[in-house]
């Protein structure tokens, strides 16, 4: 919540300005309180955002593409699947996997079929 630094007290002001000052402070708080709440929510969301991944692991290939362990192993052995190995963990570059998917797709062929039949 928005607070005013207590370097001076409202009671230090002449009586005629005290109520006006208190009203102004309340209005300021009411005005900025929703903004501050939104900023706090935004900060929480930003703090929880993870940096984008640059590599898949075996579990991602299985989950996203439905590949089995044997298929992944076979693709690696045939150099169809680019990878980096660190220790016992294999990492697959996302950009390269996406490029392979585009290169091996028939999207252009399908788009031409759809355009011709329309």
Residue ranges of the domains in the chain? 14-48, 55-117
State the average pLDDT over residues 26-53: 84
- pLDDT at residue 1, as a whole number: 39
Distance, CA of 52 to chain centre: 7
* pTM for the model: 0.49
Please name the residues in contact with 69: beta carbons below 8 A apart, sequence gap of 6 or more.
58, 62
Q: Is 33 helix (H, G, I), strand (E, B) or coil?
A: helix
**In the predicted model, is pLDDT for residue 28 greater than 90?**
no
Q: What confidence tens digit (pLDDT) does each residue in 87-116 have?
A: 999 999 999 999 998 888 887 766 655 555
């Amino acid at each position: 919540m928005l607070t005013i630094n207590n370097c001076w007290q409202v009671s230090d002001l002449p009586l005629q300005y005290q109520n006006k000052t208190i009203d102004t402070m309340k209005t300021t708080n009411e005005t900025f309180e929703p903004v501050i709440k939104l900023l706090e929510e935004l900060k929480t969301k930003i703090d929880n955002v993870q940096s984008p991944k640059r590599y898949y692991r075996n579990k991602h290939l299985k989950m996203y593409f439905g590949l089995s362990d044997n298929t992944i192993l076979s693709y690696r052995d045939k150099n169809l699947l680019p990878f980096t190995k660190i220790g016992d963990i294999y990492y697959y570059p996302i950009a390269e996997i996406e490029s392979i998917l585009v290169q091996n797709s028939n999207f252009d062929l399908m788009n031409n079929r759809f355009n011709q039949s329309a």
